[in-house]
Amino acid sequence: MKKMLLFLLFLSVLLFADNEKKVTLQLNWLNQFQFAGYYIAKEKGFYKEVGLDVDIKEFKPNIDLIDEIKTQKADFAIGRSSLLIEKINGEDIIALGAIFQKSPLMLLVKKSSNIRNVKDLKNKKIMITPDAAFSASLLAMLSANGLGKSDFILQKHSFNINDLINGNTDAMASYMSNEPIILKDKDIKYKIFHPKDYGFDFYSDILFTSSKFIKNNPKLTKDFYEASIKGWKYAFENKAETAEIIYKKYNIQNKSYIYLIKEGEILEKLAQINGEEIGHLDKEKLKNIVNVFKLFGLVKNDINMDDFIYDENPHKTMSVEISDNEQKMIVISLVALIVFFIVIIYFYSKSRQLKELLHTVINSTDDLISYKDNKLRYLGCNRSFEKFRLKKESEIIGKSDFELFKKEFADTFYYNDVKVLTRNKIIINHEWVFVGNEKKYFQTKKMPFKYKKGKKEGVLEISRDITELHMIHEKLKEQAYRDELTNIYNRKAFNERIEEKFDLYKRYKSKFCIAMYDIDDFKNINDSYGHDIGDKVLIEITKEVKQTIRKTDLIFRIGGEEFIIILPKTSIDEGFNVIEKVREKVTTLNIIENKKITISIGITEVKEEDTQISIYERVDKLMYVSKHEGKNKTSRD
């Protein structure tokens, strides 16, 4: 009998094990915090929850990541932005998501070297890997600062930070999450030159597979991607715990526990930029990366980004926050001005008289007009630009933006100018700029133009101050989502936010609660004391509720005296405790003399089968349970 039970137990274990699909993930480097999300998804059971048994393989010399996917030695792998080159060259690659929105790759120098800017690297020794695709962003940064390959001494990369410390090299291609930590621990001051600061913004650690694999395993791919993103979110929210797991189980490099925590802090900043979701891929950014590869002759053709980006990736292209009609009006006027300006430039070289006409035309507008050469130095400008910069044209000509503006603005201008030249097309940007002590919002149209026969193209720029229009638009947009009386979010805002919460729940099982409350006997308050007092009650209760709930909670007025609170990442027990505090606080308010005011509340947690309608109906019924059971009560399910 015992043998039979043991046999059945063994058989059940085998059957259970077979239910978990074996999956292989190939890393592109040795184990470290750089791959923390995948370790966490494995160790915390996120993969197991979706029926996956994931084998995470460290990188080894001579491994070809693309070949690993092609030959099915790995199901998923981690690559870099150079995957775009492979895709253009015909390889079957689908990018699921980019873990790091900003590449950690940069040039590192010691402060004691007195290398203050990229141009100071001329005739210096630089360690960069010979892989042109990998180092394209670094080479582009050097090139943009006038340094070709003949202008510096290219050294074979030793991957040994001591070569920089001991002066065997002047600059070293490094990762922000690695070498700077070592220098800081050794109390060696350093300086970083990052390609992003010069307009070359690459992704890093792109999770990829093949379209063939996705076609044959659509659910597995989706489950693996979402479990991995869940792992990354957990890793960044729990860096100390994650570092301990890596230190104990994934530490072939023998990094210290503190080192791993520091590594995690740096990588978190690279993964979550401008509020983008982890894994986000942007089509325009990818196109810009392809343009950089074109500059270095690594590719010739373009690709359809929809064929490169995984369908389930939350990719999007940024849209301008101005209404369609406003946008059309501004663009039409700018285009008309540019066309007229170009015609004038054409005749400029033909007649001295027309030169005076050119100045008359461009000086008659309040728009800022300027034009730069292929080195992005000013060739000329109009009077409006002179007033804006508080300098004469003769003081502006020959200067760069870095000599005329603060670095934060010059960096933005430079980045946009480089985009114009690399894309070779018109672009429209919106920028905040200080004019004296006042901050102004400009819409700027930039386009390439040939300023001299036989010369490369420069940049023609027209900027219009749309601060007032922008502020009106923002105010109207804010008003559309605000309740006029209580100045909290309204029902329209609730409908959008609850949709977002459901999207997060479906993707990552990010639970949340919603609570609905109603002011007890509010009609009697209006009838007995008047609507002004009724309004005061609404305002004062809202103030108290806002002060009592957590900063992450959101409150909405959805009807006369009905309100909803969304409590993100909250269980029903946690939410009930928060809402009970709200109810008790309201009873202490002394808004109307000798009149106790109370609220009735319902609260529920999102369920697997829920929709926006079902959760609303459920919390509404719970609130009325509180009403029918004597009021001044919180009901939960």
Mean per-residue pLDDT of the chain: 85
Mean local confidence (pLDDT), 346-365: 61
Q: Which of 37, 508, 47, 44 is nearest to 236 (CA)?
A: 37
Of 183, 198, 213, which one is at a domain's C-terminal end?
198
Q: CA 609: distance to chain centroid?
A: 31
Residues of the chain by 3-state class (helix, strand, coil), percent to 5: 50, 20, 30
565 beta partners: 515, 555
Higher pLDDT residue, 81 or 314?
81
The reply to whether 436 and 288 lie within a common domain is: no
Per-residue confidence at 56, pLDDT binned at 50, 70, 90?
very high
Mean local confidence (pLDDT), 304-309: 92
Cβ–Cβ under 8 Å, residues 526 and 517: no
Higher pLDDT residue, 224 or 463?
224
What's phi and psi for 98, nearest 5 deg?
A: -105, 115
Mean local confidence (pLDDT), 1-27: 61
575: helix, strand or coil: helix
Q: Is residue 623 in a domain?
A: yes
Q: Is the pLDDT of residue 540 over 90?
A: yes
Cβ–Cβ under 8 Å, residues 105 and 175: yes
Read off the CATH number of the domain in which 271 is found: 3.40.190.10
Structural domains of the chain, count: 4
Mean local confidence (pLDDT), 121-128: 93
Higher pLDDT residue, 199 or 556?
556
Q: Is residue 7 in a domain?
A: no
Q: Is the pLDDT of residue 138 over 80?
A: yes
Q: Is the pLDDT of residue 352 over 70?
A: no
pTM: 0.51
Q: Which of 408, 366, 311, 349 is nearest to 94 (CA)?
A: 311
What torsion, rounded to 10 degrees, do the Cα atoms 346, 349, 353, 355 define? 70
Question: Quick one: 529 exposed, middle or buried, by C-beta within 10 A (0-12, 13-18, 19+)?
Answer: middle
Pick left, alpha or beta for residue 205 (phi over 0 → left; psi -120 to 50 → alpha; otherwise beta). Answer: left
Alpha carbons 571 and 580: distance in angstroms, whole number: 14
Q: Write down the pLDDT at residue 469.
A: 77
Per-residue confidence at 293, pLDDT binned at 50, 70, 90?
confident
The number of C-alpha atoms within 13 Å of 484 and in the hemisphere containing its C-beta is 2
The reply to whether 92 and 233 lie within a common domain is: yes
pLDDT in tens, 489-530: 898 889 888 988 888 888 778 899 999 999 999 999 988 999
Higher pLDDT residue, 12 or 574?
574
The reply to whether 211 and 175 lie within a common domain is: no
pLDDT in tens, 157-204: 888 999 999 999 999 999 988 899 999 888 999 999 998 887 788 999
Q: Write down the pLDDT at residue 135.
A: 79
Angle at 147 between CA 145 and CA 150, to 5 degrees: 175
CA distance from start to end of the chain: 46
Mean local confidence (pLDDT), 586-600: 93
Per-residue confidence at 356, pLDDT binned at 50, 70, 90?
low
Alpha carbons 541 and 589: distance in angstroms, whole number: 8
Q: Write down the pLDDT at residue 133.
A: 67
Q: Which of 202, 200, 197, 201 is nearest to 411 (CA)?
A: 197
Q: Give the best-scoring range by mean pLDDT among 244-253, 304-313, 598-607.
A: 598-607
What's phi and psi for 366, nearest 5 deg?
A: -80, -10
Q: Which residues contact 500 (CB under 8 A, 6 or more apart)?
A: none
CA distances from 149 to 139, 157, 171, 411, 470 (A): 8, 16, 14, 24, 45
Read off the CATH number of the domain in which 602 is found: 3.30.70.270
Q: Write down the pLDDT at residue 316.
A: 43
Q: Is residue 627 in a domain?
A: yes
For residue 366, the enclosing domain spans 324-470
What's phi and psi for 454, nearest 5 deg?
A: 85, -10
State the CB neighbour count (10 A cutoff) for residue 132: 15
The reply to whether 95 and 241 lie within a common domain is: yes
Q: Is residue 2 in a domain?
A: no
Alpha carbons 246 and 248: distance in angstroms, whole number: 5
Of 277, 307, 337, which one is at a domain's C-terminal end?
307
Alpha carbons 207 and 226: distance in angstroms, whole number: 12
Per-residue confidence at 106, pLDDT binned at 50, 70, 90?
very high
Quick one: CA dihedral 87, 93, 95, 99, positive or negative? negative
Structure tokens belonging to residue 309: 């980006």
What's phi and psi for 553, nearest 5 deg?
A: -80, 150
Q: Is residue 319 in a domain?
A: no
Q: Is residue 313 in a domain?
A: no
3 state SS for 468-525: HHHHHHHHHHHHHCECCCCCCECHHHHHHHHHHHHHHHHHHCCCEEEEEEEECCHHHH
Q: Is the pLDDT of residue 11 over 50?
A: no
The reply to whether 60 and 81 lie within a common domain is: yes
Mean local confidence (pLDDT), 275-281: 82
Per-residue confidence at 6, pLDDT binned at 50, 70, 90?
very low
Q: Is the pLDDT of residue 213 over 70?
A: yes
Per-residue confidence at 332, pLDDT binned at 50, 70, 90?
low
Cβ–Cβ under 8 Å, residues 603 and 572: yes
Of 140, 174, 198, which one is at a domain's C-terminal end?
198
The reply to whether 164 and 126 lie within a common domain is: yes
Cβ–Cβ under 8 Å, residues 422 and 202: no
Q: Write down the pLDDT at residue 508.
A: 78
Q: Is residue 8 in a domain?
A: no
Higher pLDDT residue, 388 or 631?
631
Mean local confidence (pLDDT), 14-39: 83
Q: Is residue 48 in a domain?
A: yes
Long-range CB pairs of 214-217, under 8 A, 24+ apart, other chains included: 214/94, 214/310, 217/75
Alpha carbons 555 and 583: distance in angstroms, whole number: 14
Residue identified by tokens 């392809």 is 290
Higher pLDDT residue, 11 or 300?
300
The reply to whether 263 and 379 lie within a common domain is: no
pLDDT in tens, 371-404: 999 889 999 999 989 988 889 999 999 999 999 8
Question: Quick one: 134 exposed, middle or buried, by C-beta within 10 A (0-12, 13-18, 19+)?
Answer: middle
Per-residue confidence at 323, pLDDT binned at 50, 70, 90?
very low
Q: Which residues contact 57 (CB under 8 A, 6 or more apart)?
A: 24, 25, 26, 27, 74
Read off the CATH number of the domain in which 338 is found: 3.30.450.20
Alpha carbons 87 and 305: distance in angstroms, whole number: 10
The reply to whether 120 and 85 lie within a common domain is: no
Full DSSP string of 375-396? TS-EEEE-HHHHHHHTS-HHHH
The reply to whether 32 and 129 lie within a common domain is: no
The reply to whether 605 and 552 lie within a common domain is: yes
The reply to whether 438 and 298 lie within a common domain is: no
The reply to whether 626 and 505 lie within a common domain is: yes
Q: Write down the pLDDT at residue 137.
A: 85
pLDDT in tens, 430-449: 877 766 667 788 888 899 88
